Structure 1
Amino acid sequence: MKLDKLVGDRFKERPSDCAIDSHALMVRGGYIKYVANGIFSQYPPMKRISQKIERIIREEMDSIDGQEVLFPVVLPGTLWDESGRYQSVGSELLRFSDRNGSPMVLGMTHEEAAVQLVREYANSYTKYPFMIYQIQTKFRDEARPRGGLIRVREFTMKDAYSFHTSQEDLERYYDKCYKAYERIFARAGVPEVISVQSDSGMMGGSISHEFMLLTPVGEDSIVLCKECGYRANMEAAENIVDNAKTGELEEIKLVHTPNIHTIEDICEFLHAPLESSCKAVVYQKNSDDAYVVVFIRGDLDINETKLTNFLGEDIHPAVITPECGLNAGYIGPYKLEGDFTVLFDRSLEGAQNLSCGGNVEEYHYTGLNIERDCGKVEYHDFAKIAEGGICPVCGKKAITISRGIEVGNIFQLGTKYTKSMNMTYLDADGKAAHPIMGCYGIGVGRLAASVCEVHHDDYGPIWPITIAPWEVHICCVRSDDPETHAFADQLYDELQKERIEVIYDDRKATAGVMFSDADLLGVPVRVIVSPRNMKEGCCEIVTRDKKISKKVPVGEAVEAVGAVLKELYDEVQKGCK
């Protein structure tokens, strides 16, 4: 490929609307073009990267007996009605009507389509187990797209669905897919991807893992234990508390607290730490706006995913009106009256001498003991785990919080979809049963952007050899010099004959412009051909990460390039398990 024919421009200035580096570099380098909020077109370099990622994915899915299929992008709403998700999924699902008035959706995930495809075929236990997968365009109407390809509305994704006749068989296959994912990320040049326990969310199922690439710009919070290696997404991490009993149990007292509304203010007023307070966090159910009051220790925050899962429906922060019966800023569990769902976080269990709202304007209680003053209550885990918290596995105060980008996920779905969509098979005894499903996803564009995010410098991406748009970038400095240009042309032809992917820059441009463009394209191996090198009878081979820089005789250039490429591929292979 000649660089002067490459569609797409490269430029020096960082776009003002690009908050993270990968987004800025992909715009500057001529990889993507903004079309609409969360929707991008791909220029040739990005398309080539995507194709290489897809090839790696296909090879690994095929290696665990996956069979590639293709589902429609547009699906009938009736199919999602069968699973119950047409109504239960929120506004992320784009719904519309066709010309006949039939409800349709743009597929954001394809569990329903997978079941519909195989439910007549897989009617006997002899057909199991099997896995089908696709690489397809999807649309999820994200409320806040961000970071270029990190979080978009339209995206390309590999999603796979396995079908089994027993939980044990699903678990065996789940483990095989888990290991295949580790190989995929290692082959894509990011062996540092880690797996964490996650919340299944709208997908359903009881066991799920996310594969996270740790980076400060990630939008997911990852919980890590530096002692035992426990890892989980913040949404799924269990919060453990230890309420040590200190001092004598006090009587509950109503205290005048004028002009105090926040938990921080009341603790300052009472000269007490946040841990000795009980705060109220109020939500409303999306279905009917009914109020949900959650009491939690004052130093902790509500994990809304845990709360949503417990309630079994979506919620939103409450709008507290004068007539609702709640006194904003003064809500407490003692003598709280009204038609509310009242819940208690287990951070309050065993705690004593707490401060809390008095349910009266400008009054709080002190000396609260939940068990004594509120009667028998149930405690549940609604809190976010915090930095320095107790590990739910080893019990040590060794929790750290990092940021990460989710680049893949796997779920044990169970029979959530096969039951709701009436998919059955006859077992060996002739009895009807519902198959058990697994689901496995990887976002292609997000993976590419994530690799760029963790492998770049100030000048551009540093693409791993396995997914780089080209393997070699020839820079013909001073193409107006006949000898230099002739050798660069010859090298270009010979490398292509060796089936090496080459981008060739022979423009009449300055060395600075040429090298700046080469940095933005991030090709792993650069060959510099210049009049100065020609006088020495050599050319220069430099890797994008600067780890290799050497001059080789012109007669050995092709062989030397091949050796460097082999070294780079071998290095990636070492990271594969």
Structure 2
Amino acid sequence: MKASKFYISTLREAPSEAVIASHKLMLRAGITRKLGNGLYTYLPLGVRSLRKLEEIIREEWNETAGALEFKPTVIVPGEIWKESGRWETMGPQMLKARNRGEQDMVVSPTAEEAYTAIVRDGLDSYKQLPVNFYQINTKYRDEIRPRYGVMRGREFIMADGYTMNADDESLDESYKAYEKAYFRIFKRLGLKIIPVRADSGAMGGSGSEEFMVESPIGDDTLIICPNESCGYAANVEKAACRDDESLDKNGKKHEKTDAAIEEVETPNVFSIEDMEKFFDESPKMFIKALVYRVINSALDLSSCPHAKDWKRVKESSGDYYPLSYACVLIRADLDVNEAKLASALKASEVVLADDEEIRQIAGAGHGFVGPVTAKAPLVVDSSVVKANDDGTMTAMMHDAIAGSGKDGFHIRHVEPLRDFTPFLCADVRTVKEGDKCPICGGTFYSTKGNELGHIFKLGHKYTKSMKVTFLDKNGKAAEPTMGCYGIGVDRTLASIIENNNDEKGIIWPMTVAPFQVCVVPIKYDGKMKEVADKIYETLKSDGIEVFLDDRNERPGVKFADMELIGIPLRITVGEKNLPNVEFKPRAQAEAELVPADEAAAKAAAFVKAELARLNA
């Protein structure tokens, strides 16, 4: 491709709103242009890299994961979202509309419902399973605060694989095949991936793994064990740690007490720090109680006497409480992980209750909420009471101090399981750097990361609610189980740039570079034109994607543009160096001189070697 026939639109400076490297460079290099808040257009240069990235995903999903591509619509009927139960629970990020026939429609934020509905209509027998489809399609989520360019935009491109399997064993096989494909994809893109345990969130299901890249501007906090033989890594929303003991200020573990609860007047004691000073004790001896407002909980609360007046909605996809409450108990030196809490409560969202709600549930204000008097299901963290595999529970704290449920008073000698009974025991603790690995006991460190891909074992979440059945080997109706496998295409492209740049611009890996080689004549005239054209034509005939900068621009402008755009190899044709030309890989500081008649062959060999290295 010649520059005179192409669209180059580089910028000297990025707009002030661009604060991360990928956003700045995608705008400056003419990869993208902003059309609206959270809405970005790919320009021709960006489309070339975008399509290469998509093709790598296709190749690996076709071959390694054994999937077939399908193309659902972007606008889908709201009816299938009502079937799945996510019409209400997906929240305001889902863009809804009505057509002229007053039919509810959805601009797809994800495609589980569409895939399930499509396969359902043609599924009869176990002989058709597994059904393994994928799409690479546009989605829309009404992000409340879009930022970082295409890294977190409102409209974006996702590659989504879906499998429908006859049983869990078959699902495991599909899951492992996609997992293998993910490692292949990211290797070919030159990205070092950290696979981490993750929360399934609004997707639902059991097994879940994220594929992350380390990034200082990452949205996610990763908890990682440094022991390579262990390999434990998890998103902070899912991370677990080894149990640690509740010790008093002298480092002593308290034993179970027979002393009755004692009420202590504590004027002006509201925070944990206040309690430490007042009681002259370690926060590890305090039970912190927090009241949460719970949105769309599918947990069965019918056995909880405090829940009898809460509205329960019955739907084919399952019953749920649009609004409920929970009192969370956790050791006072720890923080509640709200993603874990939402998962434990099978809720779409949990939010700390406001002052009025706290008084309604706890009978006292914040700081005095107690485990004994709270009128809500007690969700007790494993730092306070641990659930055992045999269904029994073990108190992890003894002779503790807690809120009384009465303003200005706390209580001491609190014995979990004697003085209160958990409605639910769950790990809702936020794991942090310095905690111990649950597998090997190593000391965790934390880092920031960006999620590029996510794989889920969805189980029967959608096939049950959307009534998908097939006839099994015995001729009986059965529900298939599902898996879901996603890659954020735009985000991955931005992450490649985020990880491959310098002060001059982008440094593309060969596999996704918009062009593999650029030929830059100092002046496109005379002998320089002749030599540049010959190298250009020879590379083209050898199947190399080559860009000839034939613009009537100053050499400094051409060099700056090519380095900003990030083409992996530059061949510079200058009158002073002929019959030699400069051969400069973008990632190297210095150029070397090679004979002009050898430059094309050397460049082709360089390109093919880089492709072979990344695609191995």
1:13-92 alignment, distance < 5 Å: 13-63=13-63, 64-92=65-93
Question: 1: CA distance between counterparts of 2:125 and 2:98?
Answer: 36
CA-to-aligned-CA distance 1:543-574 (integer Å, 9 cap, x gap): 11117742210111110111111221122134
Q: CA deviation at 1:253?
A: 4.9
Q: 1:139 to 1:378 in 2, by over 3 A?
A: closer
Question: 2: CA distance between counterparts of 1:520 and 1:506?
Answer: 17
Which ranges of structure 1 fall in alignment gaps of 5 or more residues? none
Q: CA deviation at 1:310?
A: 1.7
1:168-207 alignment, distance < 5 Å: 168-190=169-191, 192-207=192-207
Read off the aligned partner of 1:566 and give its amino acid letter: K
Question: 2: CA distance between counterparts of 1:495 and 1:253?
Answer: 86
Question: 2: CA distance between counterparts of 1:210 and 1:420?
Answer: 25
Query: Would you say 1:500 and 2:540 are equivalent positions?
Result: no
In the other structure, the counterpart of 1:320 is 355
Question: 1: CA distance between counterparts of 2:254 and 2:78?
Answer: 61
Contact preservation (8 Å) 1:477, 1:530: yes
In the other structure, the counterpart of 1:421 is 466
In the other structure, the counterpart of 2:376 is 340
Contact preservation (8 Å) 2:245, 2:253: no
Contact preservation (8 Å) 2:224, 2:234: yes
Question: 2: CA distance between counterparts of 1:531 and 1:369?
Answer: 88
Query: Which residue of 399, 402, 405 maps to 2:447?
Result: 402
1:418-457 alignment, distance < 5 Å: 418-457=463-502
Q: CA deviation at 1:102?
A: 0.8
1:157-176 alignment, distance < 5 Å: 157-176=158-177
Q: 1:60 to 1:547 in 2, by over 3 A?
A: farther
Query: Which residue of 549, 557, 569 maps to 1:525?
Result: 569
Q: CA deviation at 1:72?
A: 0.7
Which ranges of structure 2 fall in alignment gaps of 5 or more residues? 297-321, 386-395
In the other structure, the counterpart of 2:288 is 279
Q: Which moved more, 1:495-504 or 1:442-451?
A: 495-504
In the other structure, the counterpart of 1:155 is 156
Query: Normalising by the residue count of structure 2, what TM-score does the alignment of the two structures yield?
Result: 0.87
SS of 1:533's partner is coil
Q: CA deviation at 1:103?
A: 0.6
Contact preservation (8 Å) 1:472, 1:526: yes
SS of 2:68's partner is strand
Q: 1:366 to 1:4 in 2, by over 3 A?
A: farther
Question: 2: CA distance between counterparts of 1:8 and 1:264?
Answer: 59
Question: 1: CA distance between counterparts of 2:586 and 2:399?
Answer: 62
Q: CA deviation at 1:137?
A: 0.8
Contact preservation (8 Å) 1:296, 1:348: yes
Question: 2: CA distance between counterparts of 1:413 and 1:185?
Answer: 23
Query: Normalising by the residue count of structure 1, what TM-score does the alignment of the two structures yield?
Result: 0.92
Q: Which moved more, 1:375-384 or 1:129-138?
A: 375-384
SS of 2:511's partner is coil
Q: CA deviation at 1:165?
A: 1.4
Q: Percent identity?
A: 37
Contact preservation (8 Å) 1:239, 1:381: no
CA-to-aligned-CA distance 1:134-186 (integer Å, 9 cap, x gap): 11111122222221111121111111111221211111121111101111111
Q: 1:365 to 1:460 in 2, by over 3 A?
A: farther
SS of 1:531's partner is coil
Read off the aligned partner of 2:498 and give its amino acid letter: E
Q: CA deviation at 1:446?
A: 1.0
Read off the aligned partner of 1:262 and give its amino acid letter: S
Read off the aligned partner of 1:238 and give its amino acid letter: A
Question: 2: CA distance between counterparts of 1:210 and 1:335?
Answer: 39
SS of 1:146's partner is coil
Q: 1:305 to 1:32 in 2, by over 3 A?
A: same
CA-to-aligned-CA distance 1:180-220 (integer Å, 9 cap, x gap): 11111111221x11211212222222112111111221111
Q: 1:455 to 1:366 in 2, by over 3 A?
A: farther
Q: CA deviation at 1:290?
A: 3.8
CA-to-aligned-CA distance 1:89-139 (integer Å, 9 cap, x gap): 211221111111111111111122112222232211222223111111111
In the other structure, the counterpart of 1:294 is 328
SS of 2:58's partner is helix
Contact preservation (8 Å) 2:130, 2:165: yes
Query: Which residue of 458, 461, 468 maps to 2:503?
Result: 458
Query: Would you say 1:261 and 2:270 are equivalent positions?
Result: yes
Query: Which residue of 227, 243, 246 maps to 2:245?
Result: 243
SS of 2:398's partner is coil
* Aligned alpha-carbon RMSD (Å): 2.3
In the other structure, the counterpart of 1:469 is 514
Q: CA deviation at 1:254?
A: 4.4
